[in-house]
Structure 1
Amino acid sequence: MSSHLSCAEALIIGALQGVTELFPVSSLGHSVLLPALIGGRWATDLNVSTPESPYLAFIVGLHVATAAALLVFFWRDWVRIVSGFVTSVRYRRIQTPAERLAWLIVLATIPVGLSGLALEHLFRTTLGKPIPAAVFLALNGLVLYGGELMRRRTPALASADTGEPVSQEAAGSMGNAVDDRLARLSLPQGILIGCAQILALLPGVSRSGVTMVAGMARGLSHEEAARFSFLLATPIILAAGLLKIPDLFGPLGDGIHGQVLVGSLASFASAYFAVRFLTSYFKTRTLTPFAIYCVMAGTASLLWLALG
């Protein structure tokens, strides 16, 4: 891999991963499809379905960078959430919005964490191929559009229409008002929304997309659903990356440390600007453009690969 993945290619892949991880269009789906569509050495060297793939080790580094961007962007919010968790454990209570939100994130993360440990390798090696990824990407688009149709028929969460102003405190923070409304979700609702992330183990299905759809189905607004999806994604992306970081210092990482650094910097920067854009975008807009893109890109990729 190291002889074929240049720093320029690492830069492109890193920037793409940072954007597609947070946009509801599936980073894993694009990581599988892009090399296959380009063809040549990319199709053989950049293959995530290979059991011992250096490309997978490269992507691991990009995931850690993406999670770091989310932590930097929402650092004030994570200080509040972690503080809420500490006070909850210390005083054995779940009373304040910060304490409730902390436990919502903890409990909603457990199902996808266990599923990832049990199923990630199986799904990646059996389904992490171009044609299944193209099919799942198109299906992801249908899920996003279905979520929009369902949102129109779902009563808004009672706490979402209180008329409370949204704080504009810090760059990247959506404010305590949104956090407090999210904290009014019941624990079963939060766990159900978190479980939707399990579908993102399928290449082509977006973690942020299915989480948003699940949140909207429970009455969250687009802004609230996006906010919750980013908070839920941060520990999962970070844990998945850190779990496999040792691969980068073993045989799989030989000769690609420079590319990993370049790609990670690109991933960090693109993820930071992506979350900054999306937190603003979903205040007034919907998932429909992303749904259309996924259906068109998935269908076109499927036809190209099947007929090529």
Structure 2
Amino acid sequence: MSSLSYLEATVVGLLQGVTELFPVSSLGHSVLVPALIGGRWATDLDVSAPESPYLAFIVGLHVATAAALLLFFWRDWVQIVTGFVTSVRYRRIETTGERLAWLIIVGTVPVGLVGLALEHTFRTTLGKPVPAAAFLVVNGVVLYAGERLRRRRDGGVATATADAGTDESLARTPLARGALIGAAQTLALLPGISRSGVTMTAGLLRGLTHDEAARFSFLLATPVILAAGVLKVPDLFGPLGSGIHGQVLAGSVASFVSAYLAVRFLTKYFHTRTMTPFAIYCVVAGAGSLLWLTLR
């Protein structure tokens, strides 16, 4: 891993920050891009290799991505943490902050348990270019199907509005519904399936607007990707990270900047737009990658 270049680290960092939040799968792109470039990139950046230092590197970048989300939503997180403290202290779930805190908790527990049990298995067996490309196509189909079903349910009326997506509106979501939406994150353990994409789709199908679904998706993702990153950071300070600390820093800075810009863009985008363009991209990119990888 000492051969990891600053260019590779920076490109992967930029890619991680954007694709973690755009509904297009960060892990899928982390697997596919090096394989499509080939050569040294495919050798250096192999996520399925046993005890892969590249996996530790890209998951370690999650800390920077989560930091960008915490910075962007810092007011929300102050309210959520305060709400959790008051909820435990007074044994109630009444205020906006208290309801949001428990929505995040019940939505995070399923993916945490499944991730601890199956992450290694999924990564070693499916973290290869061809499965990642196939799942990217599936991700596009899921996004498009979610949009079609949402439109059919609402009679073709758009649900994304400029005044939606507030903490108050999200706090009205029943806890059981929040748990179902959060459980959709477990599908993102499959390379090519987007965490934000499946949670937004689940949110839309459970009655949220695009704006609300995106906001809830980003809030749900923050503790998950932060925990995943923190768990891998010690690996980067051990033998796996030997000789690449500078590259890790460069990748982290790139990931932080790109993630912050991505969430800033997407929170505005989903005021009035849908996931359909991302669905089309995933199907085209996934199918094109499959053709390239199998026919070259």
Question: TM (normalized to structure 2)?
Answer: 0.96
Q: Does structure 1 residue 114 correspond to structure 2 residue 102?
A: no
Aligned to 2:33: 34
Unaligned runs of 5+ in 1: 167-173
How many Å separate the matches in 2 of 1:42 and 1:116? 27
Aligned to 2:236: 248
RMSD (Å) for aligned C-alpha atoms: 1.6
Counterpart of 1:268 (choices 256, 261, 278) is 256
Aligned to 1:218: 206
Aligned to 2:137: 138
Counterparts in 2 of 1:93 and 1:226: CA distance versus 1, 3 Å = same
How many Å separate the matches in 2 of 1:150 and 1:253? 46
Letter in 2 for 1:300: G
Identity of aligned residues (%): 76
Counterparts in 2 of 1:223 and 1:165: CA distance versus 1, 3 Å = closer
Counterpart of 1:187 (choices 175, 183, 204) is 175
Residue 73 of structure 1: how far off its partner (Å)? 0.5
User: Counterparts of 1:152-231 in structure 2 under 5 Å?
Assistant: 152-155=151-154, 165=163, 178-231=166-219
Runs of 4+ in 1 over 2 A off after TM superposition: 153-156, 163-166
Residue 6 of structure 1: how far off its partner (Å)? 1.5
Aligned to 1:284: 272
How many Å separate the matches in 2 of 1:196 and 1:83? 26
How many Å separate the matches in 1 of 2:240 and 2:51? 7
User: Are 1:151 and 1:216, in contact at CA under 8 Å, matched by a contact in 2?
Assistant: yes
Residue 155 of structure 1: how far off its partner (Å)? 4.8
Letter in 1 for 2:91: R
User: Are 2:162 and 2:272, in contact at CA under 8 Å, matched by a contact in 1?
Assistant: no
Counterparts in 2 of 1:254 and 1:295: CA distance versus 1, 3 Å = same
Aligned to 2:79: 80
Unaligned runs of 5+ in 2: none
Residue 12 of structure 1: how far off its partner (Å)? 1.2
User: Are 2:87 and 2:98, in contact at CA under 8 Å, matched by a contact in 1?
Assistant: yes
Letter in 1 for 2:66: A
How many Å separate the matches in 2 of 1:37 and 1:114? 33
How many Å separate the matches in 1 of 2:181 and 2:21? 17
How many Å separate the matches in 2 of 1:214 and 1:105? 15
Question: TM (normalized to structure 1)?
Answer: 0.92
How many Å separate the matches in 2 of 1:2 and 1:297? 31
